[in-house]
Each structure stands twice: as structure tokens, then as C-alpha cells.
Chains A and B, each alone.
Chain A
Amino acid sequence: MIQADAEILSVRRDGAYYHMSFAAPGIADGFRPGHFVAIAVDDAHILRRAFSIRSASTKAGGALQIIVSPKGPGTQWLVRRRAGDIINVIAPLGQPFRLPTEPVPCVLVGGGYGVAPLFELANQLRARGCGVEIIVGAGDAARLHGVVEARRVSDAVHVTTDDGSAGEQGRVTDPLRRILAEGRHPAVYACGPMAMLQAVSEVSAEFGAVAQCAVEESMACGVGVCMTCVLPVIGDDGVTRMVRSCTEGPVFFGDRVRWSDVGTVPADTLGSPEARDD
């Protein structure tokens, strides 16, 4: 992990989102799909903003690409930057997606800007001989990202939108269900809103596929020191703990996250008020 001042190489609008590329000497080498970058924004906002790394190129000293959805003041500030501006970045952070040891067919599911980490993941899976199908979903066509690139890096692409303005009308779990019903895909990778990740985990479990999900929890530090970004996760020992998504995640096995309990501390969590005897 490296902290550096990075020069912005380009900011380009794409539907509801912005593509951003910045020089990141030394960072690209350590990048694996699922890693994120924490970016300092304007002086008025102390906390860094987290973004999935979309791709990293080692050419010309190294550069990172991210997709930014301008949501609040920090992300809006970021998309107003121009080539040549300097931003302070820390990357690569977090635990990346784990790749299968065997060349098995995989399904990748991205919701909204959540497809960002999936392109490079698809490349790496295919380099290992894995078949790759990608499901790209969003609320509407404007928030659909990366369909063209998804086609380039996969064997098949399925598009869904909630309102039917692009692809089939419905949820990403509709095509996921059809694909998994073929009984050939043991591995599912997902990134997107929490509700989508929960649904993907449930459908995957139904068909006996292992889902890995990159979660998005509000973060203050991004490096593991503040305990802001926690969610209830079941450990190897069967015990639920409030686990940091910045250091132990953002990628978790879907069947380990207690999706319905996110935002709460379940009573049987290690150290929960109910579990303490005093």
C-alpha cells in the first residue's frame, strides 16, 4: 500500500458517471481486482473517499482508473478536477477477490458503478482458462456502466435495468438464476449495492455456487484504524463478529455476511450487549 500525490491524467463523463485516470507510480504493480483506493478530497472534507480500482496499467510509470458517481460534495469535487490536477491517494487497499485454482466457469455480477472491478477480474479469470459471463445491471440506462467493455472481456453479457430502458427489465438475479440453473458455474463474483449483494448471495447459495461479494460500507479511515466500516460476518469458527470491511473486506464470501443484520449488532455477535453477562 502506497500513499502518493497523483497527477490526474483524464476525467471523462460517461452517462451518470465519470471515468477518472491518474498517474500512480508503484501502485499498479500491487493491484488485484477488488482492491480499492482512498482519495483525499477538498480541504473542507477531512475524510477520504473510497473507490474500486477499475484497472491499473503499469505502462508509463503506472496509472489507475476509477469510475466515480458524483453523489455528495466529495465525489462532486472529484469529478470537477481536470487533467494535471494533483490528488492524494492511498492504494491498493483491502482484500481482493480470490481466484479459483481450477479453470471453472464464473459469473460476474455488477450493479451500477459496481461493475468497476469486474473487467480486470474477467481478464484474470480468462487468463486462467475460466469461462466468464457478466451480468450488468442498473436502475436505468444512464446508470448502466461498461456494457461494451464487458463484451470485450467475457464470453457473454446479460444486461438488466429496473425500468427496462436497456436490456431486459428486471433484476440482475433474473439472468443469474437462469445461468446457475445450467448447473455449470461454481463461482459467482459480485459488486454493487448491498441489497443486490444479498440477493446474489442467496441465489448463489440456492444453486450451491460460492459467491464473493465486494461490499460498500461507509468508511472514515479506509486503513483499519477507526472501526467505522464494520458489518456482521461469520468467522471460520462459526462466531459472528463485527468485521472491518476496509481491511478484512471489501470482498467477503456471500454466505458469511449476515446480510439481513447489516446495520445492527446481532444478539449472538461476539461482545454484543446481549452476549455480555454484566
Chain B
Amino acid sequence: MTDPRVTLAGVEFAGPAFTASGCAAAGKELAGFFDLTEIGGVVTKSIMMRPRSGRPTPRMVETPSGMLNSIGLQGPGIESFLANDLPWLAERGVAAVVSIAGETVEEYAQLARILRNEPDVKAIEVNISCPNVESRGQVFACDVMSASSVIHQVRRNTSSTVPIFAKLSPDVTSIAEIALSCHNAGADGFSMINTTLGMAIDTDTLRPILGGVTGGLSGPAIRPIAVRNVWQVHHVLPDVPILGMGGIATGEDALQFIAAGATAVSVGTMTFHDPSAPLRVQQELLGLLDERGFASVSEAVGVAHRGGLV
């Protein structure tokens, strides 16, 4: 049997599949469907400094093989997260990867400083797909300078034993360039991809459907884009771990990401279809790796770059 354990930037996780930020809340709701300790861990909804109401409804449109969302990072804020959600995960032995988001570089730094005192944080995912209010709303992840200054500040303020993963947006001209600068700024790994910006119009009213006008596209529709992005980043940074995601529905989908260079995967939108999808995908992936003779997940990471199965 393939060893399910994976090591991401020095931290060991029980399995290669994780939830995806924003698709599992803080884990609790999925516990009724499967044992959260069996998967790699729970990546939480992106946490901000203060409570946040999010955007007006409608927040969702179903699209071919996917969906658009404009949730707007609704959440309770870091204080409530630390009082209620993180302890819940820790008490049950669930590995917590905490996603953080901010509107200024300083807000990310503040969040990192607060999390520094929390021993139950296994890793931090830095969601940089947010508008930078100090730069006319330009998304951090789409600008080399803002992306790397956020990562630099989070790295500076985080304990060296806690890896930080930069969550990359596919809406850039060169993903490799952003990845290289984030890596230079101290990112220990990458989570990719975030949703890609889309839009839908109601043909009766001829107005945008989403309350937020535009929204993030996710689900199987974006899978080939995600695999390509993982491939390109692994190509330039083969030793940097990647948490791959984007439309993963099955173990075969996940295997594509591993072969393209991901060390582990997150299952997002498909959790809405099947709440136990993260565990199912993990089991299917391990089965496929086993069939192909891999003793561990890490043996298969990036194998497509090395000529595939020989």
C-alpha cells in the first residue's frame, strides 16, 4: 500500500488530500460526513482581522462544470476563530491549515503575529487574491511587488517551524514570475489555484446575476488551467511543495496534479456535491498510486516532468 503520509515544507500530514479554503468553513460541518483526521487537514475559510459580512446575494451561479461565487470573504474575524474554531479542530486532532486574508500588507502581518502564539496552527495559507485597498483595489496576487511584500511580512512574523503557503491566482500573465518572487520573499510553498474571475448575465433582466457583479469560477471547468499552472510553477521551482487544487473531483484528477508537481491536493467545489469528497478523493488517489507501484506520494510528485512512468 502507498504510504498516505505527506510532508509539506517539513510538516507531516496524515494524507495527501485537504479541504480547500472557503469550501469547508472551519471543518465542523463536514465532521458529520467523514473523519477529518483521516485526510491531510482542514484548510480554513480565509480569516480576516475583523468580522466581515461579505457581499450581497445572489452570491452563486452554477455554470457548465462549475460555479461562480462572490461570497466576499464572509467570516467572524480572527478573535472568534481562535476562540471557537481552532480549538474545535485541535481537540479532535484535526490538522489545521489556517488561511488568512487582508486588505493591507499590515493586516496580513497583524494576523501572522496573532497566529504566532497558536501552537495548533500546522501551516498558514496566505490568500493573496484580495484587493489591496492601498493600491486602488489591485489584487495582491496579480502584482509581483504587493504579493511579495505580503509574503515577506507574514514570513517575518511567523514562527520558523510553521510553513507559509502563498495562495496563487491564475489571473496573471506569468504564474512562474509571481511564484519566484513569492518564494524569494519567504514562501515555503504554494497553494494553487484560486478561482479565476468570471461573470454571468441574466438574459431576462440583462443584468449581472451576482450581487458582486463578477465572481470566482471554480470546479472541474478550471481543472486544466490549474494543472497547467501547477506544471509551470513546479518547472521553475521543483523543490518547493505545492498544494494543488482546481476542480478536483476524483482520484484521477488528483493524480494529474501530483504528476504535474503538486505534493498534496485540496478538494473545494466538489465538496458541495459530495461532502465527503476530500476523503474519497484521497482514497482513490492512494489506490491509483498503489496500482502504479508508488510506495509514497512524494515519489510521484512531478513525475510528468521526468518522462512519466518508465
Interface on A for B, CB 8 Å cutoff?
1, 3, 40, 44-48, 88, 90, 217-218, 220-231, 241-242, 247, 262-265, 269-273, 275-276, 278
Contact = CB atoms under 8 A, between A and B. Distances in A.
A3 B74 contact: no
Contacts of B113: none
Contact of A271 (B25, B52, B60, B64): B52
Contact of B60 (A88, A218, A275): A218
6 contacts: A3-B275, A45-B62, A48-B272, A222-B272, A223-B30, A271-B53
Contacts of A221: 23, 271-272, 275
A107 B51 CA distance: 38
Given A218-B58, A228-B71, A223 B29 contact: yes
Given A40-B274, A225-B24, A271-B50, 5 more contacts: A46-B62, A46-B66, A220-B60, A220-B69, A241-B53
B252 to A, nearest CB: 15
Given A1-B32, A227-B74, A276-B50, A46 B57 contact: no
Contacts of A47: 60, 62, 67, 272-273
A207 to B, nearest CB: 30
Nearest to B247: A46
Given A225-B272, A226-B69, A44 B74 contact: no
Contacts of B23: 221, 225-226
Contact of A230 (B24, B30, B59, B103): B59
Given A226-B22, A226-B71, A271-B77, A265 B53 contact: yes
Given A46-B65, A271-B50, A225 B25 contact: yes
A278 B133 CA distance: 10
Interface in B23-39: 23-25, 29-30, 32-33
A263 B57 contact: yes
Given A217-B57, A224-B29, A271-B52, A230 B74 contact: yes
Listed residue (A88, A228, A262, A278) with the most chain B CB atoms within 10 angstroms of its CB: A228
A265 B59 CA distance: 12
Contact of A46 (B25, B211, B220): B220
B148 interface: no
A272 B62 CA distance: 26
A265 B67 CA distance: 22
Nearest to B62: A47
B271 A265 contact: no
Interface string B207-234: 0000100000001100000000000000
Interface of B: 22-25, 29-30, 32-33, 45, 50-60, 62, 64-67, 69, 71, 74-75, 77, 103-104, 133, 211, 219-220, 269-276
A223 B30 CA distance: 8
Nearest to A2: B32
B219 A46 contact: yes
A263 B211 contact: yes
Nearest to B51: A271
Contact of B59 (A48, A227, A264, A270): A227
Contacts of A225: 23-25, 29-30, 271-272, 275
Listed residue (B51, B53, B75) with the most chain A CB atoms within 10 angstroms of its CB: B53
Nearest to A224: B29
Given A242-B74, A263-B211, A46 B53 contact: no
A225 to B, nearest CB: 5
A71 to B, nearest CB: 13
A228 B53 CA distance: 12
A230 B57 contact: yes
A231 B74 contact: no
Contacts of B220: 46
Contacts of B273: 40, 46-48
Contacts of B269: 46
Given A44-B65, A46-B65, A220-B60, A227 B54 contact: yes
Contacts of B103: 278
B239 to A, nearest CB: 33
Contacts of A247: 29
Nearest to B63: A46
A228 B138 CA distance: 25
Nearest to A277: B50
A242 B62 contact: no
B275 A90 contact: yes
A230 B25 CA distance: 14
Contacts of A1: 32
Contacts of A224: 25, 29
Contacts of B276: 3
B299 to A, nearest CB: 32
B73 to A, nearest CB: 9
A270 to B, nearest CB: 5
Nearest to A222: B272
